[in-house]
Copies of this chain bind each other. A is one copy, B any other.
């Protein structure tokens, strides 16, 4: 008989499935967020890819999804094996500390000593074996009391990601690669990114947090005691159908909106309680269409990547990416590095260079009363 004798046996995966991905509009929408799309040509959504990646780590019964009420049906359709008690519905978005903290508080009540790992629903990872290696080490780090991150070994001077500056090695059984985290760096300019790569000791921040649930809550409590109190109160009411609804209505809307990077990661790093395990797998957060183009063109800049079932695209001397969701014939002539996103009610035409500006357009559409296409 199997006995629970490794930290991984106490591991629970948490998938916060929240963000819309505005920089991928008009593909990503309020009612069709990024995680519900197949952006890799895998034939399934990013959420399902994430689930499939985590099942070997924690098992189907130990994966919790935190998502908006509006996405419940879509999430459950994507993940038929997701247990009812592992669906945490947000009545409205309150940012990542609330989302992951609530999961931690619920799970810690159910199973004291649980170790949780939070993994975004809309990232792309290839090489499952290397992912598993890194997570296994991170779980050992978490078991030793640290807040653990998995940071990605950079392969190029990317300017679209945050960086983790590593400190010295930390000695933890089962985690030979673990290092202290010295500091976090916001998205750098190209020269800075190049210096990170040549210096070494920098990893991409992939927002993968692994921690004992009680330790995570402790960290939240240090920086945001009111937020922690709300989360604990919610968790206490959660598993009784009679108390959950009223508690959510009373507490959730008042929770402070703060990213876990600020409530937990930065203070813990400053206090020496944060460690990182490098991951050597390919990773991307597909932050915009430039990144999506790159991901789908095998890195060949002269190619035209085409996404979309039964896409009918005719390209003459064109490169970039076409996302086809409308079944229309799309003809491109002599347009280089182009981004064309063709959906039934909205069309985007830009270039890779301007891909980050898509979010501003979404804001402009909101202001101009075009919310029907957002």
Which residues of A line the B interface, CB within 8 A? 26, 312, 314, 316-317, 328-335, 338, 340, 342-351, 353-354, 357-358, 360-361, 364-365, 368, 370, 373
Contact = CB atoms under 8 A, between A and B. Distances in A.
Max chain B C-beta neighbours (<10 A), residue from A317, A349, A350:
A349
Contacts of A351: 333-335
A242 to B, nearest CB: 45
A334 B351 CA distance: 7
A20 to B, nearest CB: 16
A314 B368 contact: yes
Given A347-B342, A349-B338, A354-B334, A360 B329 contact: no
A228 to B, nearest CB: 41
Contacts of A368: 314
A316 B360 contact: yes
A347 B335 contact: no
A357 B331 contact: no
A80 to B, nearest CB: 34
B347 A328 contact: yes
Contacts of A346: 328-331
Given A342-B347, A349-B349, A357 B373 contact: no
Contacts of A332: 348-350
Contact of A349 (B312, B335, B354, B365): B335
B316 A357 contact: yes
A342 B330 CA distance: 9
Contact of A329 (B329, B330, B334, B345): B345
A27 to B, nearest CB: 12
Nearest to A370: B329
Contacts of A353: 334
8 contacts: A312-B370, A314-B365, A314-B368, A314-B370, A316-B364, A331-B346, A331-B347, A333-B358
A38 B364 CA distance: 30
Contacts of A338: 335, 349
Given A314-B368, A364-B314, A368-B314, A357 B333 contact: yes
Contacts of A354: 316-317, 333-335
Nearest to A364: B314
Which 9 residue pairs across A and B have the least CB separation, nearest first? A334-B354, A333-B350, A329-B346, A333-B354, A329-B373, A330-B347, A331-B348, A331-B361, A332-B349
Given A26-B329, A333-B358, 16 more contacts: A26-B331, A312-B370, A314-B361, A314-B368, A328-B345, A328-B347, A329-B345, A329-B365, A331-B348, A331-B350, A332-B350, A333-B354, A334-B354, A334-B357, A338-B349, A340-B347
Nearest to A355: B333
Nearest to A344: B328
A76 to B, nearest CB: 30
Contacts of A334: 350-351, 353-354, 357
A312 B26 CA distance: 14
A364 B314 CA distance: 8
